[in-house]
Amino acid sequence: MEVIILVGHGSPKKDANQMDVVGRMLHGMIHPGCAESNCVKVCYLQFAQPDLMAAISEAAAGSPGRIIVHPYFLNAGAHVTKDIPGMMEEARALYPGIDFIYTEPLGVAHEIVRVAKERIEAAKGEVRPREIEKRSFETIAREAGFPEEGGALPGEAGPVLQRVVHATGDFEFMSTLVFHPEAIKAGIEAIRGGMDIITDVEMVRAGINKKALASFGGQVLCGIGDVEGDDPARTRAERGFCGLAAQAKNAGIYVVGNAPTALFACIRLINEGALKPMLVIGVPVGFVRAVEAKAFLAAQEEKFPFITNAGRKGGSTVAAAIVNALLLMAGKK
């Protein structure tokens, strides 16, 4: 077991002490999926708490084999070369059973220079919307370990993965999204064929690029707004989805981003022969039956193409991002 301690300078201005934000971001990068928040700690040299010795004492209480101390400083000044090393020597004497490692400061690094360049360009108003997206995609590819791919993620599903990460800021989707072997091909063929898309909720419909779909002859439909009355046995999303699906003659892609009940119903109707989709996108979010609905969809591999994800995460943003990625792919020759 190891504990990482980030050391910031600290400021009398309370809202300038944001090492806790840095710590959470670093924790998510180096320990993805870790539920233990104490493996990355933050502290300050001056003006704010906890200080370095307090952070080391707290970390040592868990009997880690190693404590890594990183000075979150730009250059190797007196704090980095004298003050922090002195405290670490004191800590080594107090805790001889722990291996202490001291890293270099941030220093001169390409990424820091790149951030400085972005700040300057933004201040001059030189960053255009398309440039923002381009840089975002380059960042995603680089942080995902594919800097040589020209700002893109490799593989047939790469554009979908990249757009979902871009829409959510969550790299976990790269490992949880599940693609039927024919999903990408089927989705592109449905779009190019001018087929309609049916969604479970208006938020999914609103997020899809309807102009792009219309250029192929298709439209995005949602039936939840036409549902009348209450039915304690079925949700509005389920009733709207099923009602519209039963009437739609040109539907090729069914998209569920919110309601697990709608996804269960969609799969049932397909298995009964009432629906014949080219692609089902099912990524409902939630704590009740969302995981089960997506697992049920993933079990349909022998029956029809699908895109889903494992776990509780998902939602309208993810569903729309998947469709928009397919629309872009369909528009390429």
Least confident of 95-99, 231-235, 261-265: 231-235
The pLDDT assigned to 103 comes to: 96
Domains and CATH numbers, the chain: 2-102 (3.40.50.1400), 110-149 (no CATH), 158-330 (3.40.50.10230)
Instruction: Report which of residues 86 and 247 the model is more confident about.
Output: 86
Using the predicted structure, report yes or no on whether residue 135 has a pLDDT greater than 90: no
**Torsion region of 193: left, alpha or beta (phi above 0 gives left; psi -120 to 50 gives alpha):** alpha
pTM of the predicted structure, to 2 decimals:
0.70
pLDDT in tens, 104-118: 999 988 888 888 887
Residue 333 binned pLDDT confidence (cut-offs 50, 70, 90)? low
Mean pLDDT along residues 235-246? 85
Percent of the chain with pLDDT over 90: 68
Using the predicted structure, report yes or no on whether residue 326 has a pLDDT greater than 90: yes
DSSP secondary structure code for residue 149 in this structure: G
DSSP secondary structure code for residue 15 in this structure: G
Q: What whole-number distance in Å separates Cα of residue 101 and Cα of residue 122?
A: 37
The pLDDT assigned to 126 comes to: 66
Q: Which of 66-70, 127-131, 152-156 has the highest mean pLDDT?
A: 66-70
331 in helix, strand or coil?
coil
Q: Which residues are catalytic?
A: 166
**In this structure, are residues 227 and 262 in contact, taking their beta carbons and an 8 Å threshold?**
no
Q: What whole-number distance in Å separates Cα of residue 181 and Cα of residue 305?
A: 7
The pLDDT assigned to 88 comes to: 96
Mean pLDDT along residues 130-142? 82
Residue 50 binned pLDDT confidence (cut-offs 50, 70, 90)? very high
**In this structure, are residues 145 and 162 in contact, taking their beta carbons and an 8 Å threshold?**
no
Mean pLDDT along residues 201-225? 94
